[in-house]
Amino acid sequence: MSLVLATDDAGGPEIFASLQGEGPSAGMPVAFMRLSRCNLACVWCDTAYTWRFEGDNRPHRDEHTFDRKANQVTLELADIAARIDALGQKRLVITGGEPLLQAGKLAELLELLPDLSVEIETNGTTKAPPRLDIRVDQYNVSPKLAHSGNDADLALIPERLDHYAADPRAYFKFVIASPEDVDEVLALQRRYRFKRGHVFLMPEGTDSASLRSREAWLSELCLKHGFRMSDRLHIHLYGDTRGT
């Protein structure tokens, strides 16, 4: 049994130790594993190498496509588990792409790593089957707003958002590019009644200057509406690079 992972700059699997850069666990030392493939296509996605392969015509602001063979690697579960274990971390963050597209195999992987706490970063369009769900300690759900370029019928599925809104393990992280995006978050908050303290607004940007510029006005909107603000710590520390 195997999983399809994204690759790092050297062509190896994107499995690494770092500090979590976003959301409720920001600053926590963790092991990261980035899986390949996604069912959505955000125009500002900073990991387009996980899905925008040659022949994929879904729009992206960079208009760049990636060679699938060079940006995907398939590994056996036992190999992945050994690599994660060797990092010596107590917490694992599984990200993508959309990691729940490989949910069944993920469940088998986590059965090989029973002592790790687990976060899954998901776009919220699908949910984990029971065999995987029982091993997840935290969901970082990032529903995609209109400025992502995704059709709302694909990105904001009521049944799925109802499911996560009722799960105390779920935190919601919204990428914000303009003040108008916050109005959309407020409408979703009214509709789905996300738990107090479980909603984060995070500025869109892949460099420190852009993040700081947006945080200047986003912080005021968080104060006004009672939302938490998430920085992107890894961008400040390492830049927009793979394996960080």
Please check whether residue 202 lies inside any domain of the structure. Answer: no
For residue 102, tell me if it sits in a domain.
yes
| Predicted pLDDT of residue 152 | 97
pLDDT of residue 122: 98
What was the pLDDT predicted at 108? Answer: 98
The confidence score (pLDDT) of residue 94 equals: 99
pLDDT reported for residue 101? 98
Give the domain range for residue 156.
2-175
Task: Supply the pLDDT for residue 53.
Answer: 97
CB of 45 within 8 A of CB of 60? Answer: yes
* 193 is a domain residue: no
Look at residue 136 and tell me if it is in a domain. Answer: yes
- Measured in degrees and rounded to the nearest 5, phi and psi for residue 137 equal -95, -25
Say what the pLDDT of residue 20 is. Answer: 98
- Which residue positions in the chain have pLDDT lower than 50? none
pTM (2 d.p.): 0.96
Can you give the pLDDT at residue 99? 98
Residue 232 located in a structural domain:
no
The residues, ordered by sequence, that sit 6+ positions from 44 with a Cβ below 8 Å of its Cβ are 61, 147, 148, 175, 177, 204
User: Could you give the strand order of the β-sheet that contains 117-122, starting from the edge strand earlier in sequence?
Assistant: 15-19, 29-34, 91-95, 117-122, 138-141, 170-176, 199-203, 228-229
Q: How many domains does the chain have?
A: 1
CA 179, distance to chain mean position in Å, is 22
Phi, psi angles (nearest 5°) of residue 189:
-60, -45
**Does 183 map to a domain?**
no
Q: Is 82 within a domain? A: yes
pLDDT tens digits along 100-114: 999 999 999 999 999
In this prediction, residue 157 carries a pLDDT of 98
Question: Is residue 120 assigned to a domain?
Answer: yes
